[in-house]
Each structure stands twice: as C-alpha cells, then as structure tokens.
Amino acid sequence: MELVAFSEKRLALALSDYLRSIGIANHVEARAEGTVILLALAEDFARAQEEMKLFVGNPEDERYWQASWQSGQAQDEPVYAAAGPSAAAGWLARGGRVTRAVAALCVVLFIGLNVQPDAVFGALHYPPVLAETGVQWWRLLTPALMHAGLMHIAFNLLWWWEFGGLIERSQSGLRLLGVAVVIALVSNAAQGLQYGPHFLGLSGVIYGLLGYLWMYPLCNPAAGFRVRREIIGFMLGWLALGYTGLLDMIFGPISNTGHLSGLLAGMALGVLLGLVNRGEAARNIDGQD
C-alpha cells in the first residue's frame, strides 16, 4: 500500500529507515512522481501516516537521523548493519557513479604524476595568465584532480567519498557534478591568484562540499540529509589549524586559501539551492491530502 511520495529520494529513505526501526515493514520504489514508500501491511497505514506527518513537521529530529545512520544510507532499500554487508562493502556502496569516476580519475592522475611528473603537471596545471590567448579551459578544473603525496590523496578521497557520495545519493549525480565544478572553479581561481600555477589537490572542493551539506539542510529542512556536528567541528578545526602554520611543518605547504574559498563557495551554493528547493517535499505532501 502506498504511503507517500517524496521528490527528494533521501527524504523518502530517511522516513523508510525510521518506519523500519519501529517495526513498520516497507520498501521504497522510484516512480515518475518521485520516490514512493510502500507499506507491506495495510493495517500499518494509519500508524505510518501519523508518523509521516510528524516526520514532515520536523525531519531534523535526531531519531530519524539515528535510524538512517544505522542503516548505512547506502541502498534504495536500506539494510541495517547487523544484517547487511560488511562495513567495507557498505562504505564502498556509498559512492555513486560520479563519486567513483572522480575518485578513479584522481588515482590515475596520481599515478601519472609519480611516473611522469613534468609531463602530467605541465599539461594540467592552472594557467599562469588567464587573459592570455588560447587558455585551455580544462586547466581551470584539473588542478583539483591532481595529488602528489599518498597521504594527500588518501585524505582527500576519503572525504570526497563521504561528502560527494552523500550528495549523489540524496540528490543526484548531476547535482554533485554541478556543485563540485562551481566550487573547483572558485577555489582554483583563488589559489591561482595567490600561488600562480603551483598548487594541486581536491581539498578546496572537499571543504566546498562540506559547506554545501552544512547550509543546504538549514535553508531547506526537508532536505533529507545533514552532516554530523562532530564532522563539521573537526573540519573547521582542521581549517583553523592550517592558519597556525603547524600543518605546514608536518605535511608541507597547506593551501588555506583553497580551503577557505571552497568552503565559502559551497556555503553560498547550499544557501542558494536550499532556498530554491525549499518546500518541495511539503508541497508534495499537501498535494496528496
């Protein structure tokens, strides 16, 4: 029996996870009108409908996110950790096609930089003069995909997988791609102004995705996702630590400009798109009454 349809997939999955956690069997199904929650038993409809109304009224309540966190947020029909795949398999499943494609491209370029550094960096570094004739457009983006050190690429891809995967699962691969490209353009431009062509790494985009995921659900509470406060605190603390110079001593030069500009660009996108998309889920519910 159909309970409700949501335009945002992650919103449907969050409610589905919660209903399962309180013993209401259901599954989700993609249809033209959105992601539909279907109940296994007709006798659960009245109770599920009451829970659905409470959910729409306050989707940010901790109980819903606890249920989603336990489910792994990885599949159309979420599986609880105790009955689902291994932790490693669940983590890998969190990355969609765009998330995986970008990660794979970063790995390929990482290998290339360590085999033929001059050739790869020479072909992909940021243009030293934007106003020069014949600027190759891909250079505005490709510095974000290059990494020189193993720790550098491992740290960045870990967070890319988490943040990018969350956006792709909850919204779409196209949304992730668009947000990431805009952030990369802003972050790379800021670094290009400060460092010229001598920078690389995805960390500016990572901070931008954090900013987007932080602001979007604040401006659109029906978003169906959020970043845990502990992660936001850690990432902001890491950003602040970068300005002390301690990280430069341990890891080498850190692009604080890239981190901060990426974060601000992502926050701006989160506010803009959150306000544009706000109310879609509520209007969808009203249309079914």
- Do both 140 and 180 map to the same domain? yes
Residue 207 lies in a domain: yes
- Do both 213 and 237 map to the same domain? yes
Burial zone of 231 (CB within 10 Å; 0-12 exposed, 13-18 middle, 19+ buried): middle
Residue 282 lies in a domain: no
Structural domain containing residue 181: 94-277
Decide if 232 contacts 16 (C-beta within 8 A).
no
- Do both 99 and 61 map to the same domain? no
Residue 72 vs residue 238, higher pLDDT: 238
- Do both 210 and 132 map to the same domain? yes
pLDDT for 170-188, tens place per residue?
A: 888 999 999 999 999 999 9
* Average pLDDT of the segment spanning 154-171: 91
Burial zone of 148 (CB within 10 Å; 0-12 exposed, 13-18 middle, 19+ buried): middle
Catalytic residue among 16, 125, 259, 261: 259
- Do both 71 and 208 map to the same domain? no
DSSP 145: G
Under the banding of pLDDT at 50, 70 and 90, the label for residue 145 is very high
- Do both 135 and 176 map to the same domain? yes
Count of structural domains, the chain: 2
Residue 81 lies in a domain: yes
Structure tokens at 192: 């290009």
Residue 289 lies in a domain: no
Q: Taking the CA atoms of the chain, what radius of gyration do you get in angstroms?
A: 21
- Do both 127 and 261 map to the same domain? yes
Query: Alpha carbon 147 to chain centroid distance?
Result: 20
Query: Alpha carbon 286 to chain centroid distance?
Result: 29
- Do both 20 and 112 map to the same domain? no
Q: Among 51, 86, 121, identify where a domain stops.
A: 86
Query: Residue 259 catalytic?
Result: yes
Alpha carbon distances (Å) from 18 to 198, 214, 240:
48, 22, 36
Q: Among 38, 60, 86, identify where a domain stops.
A: 86
Q: Among 86, 118, 151, identify where a domain stops.
A: 86
Catalytic residue among 68, 170, 187, 203: 203
List the beta strands (DSSP E) in 81-138. none
- Do both 67 and 6 map to the same domain? yes
- Do both 51 and 106 map to the same domain? no
Alpha carbon distances (Å) from 175 to 9, 68, 98, 179, 213:
13, 21, 10, 6, 12
What kind and span of H or E run contains 169? helix 165-170
- Do both 66 and 186 map to the same domain? no
Spatial CB neighbours of 20, under 8 Å, sequence gap ≥ 6: 26, 67, 71, 78, 80
SS3 36: strand
Instruction: Look at residue 94 in the predicted model and tell me its pLDDT.
Output: 75
Instruction: State the pTM of this model.
Output: 0.70
Angle CA 163–11–104, to nearest 5 = 30
pLDDT for 67-96, tens place per residue?
A: 665 554 434 333 223 333 344 555 677 788
Residue 265, pLDDT > 90, answer: yes
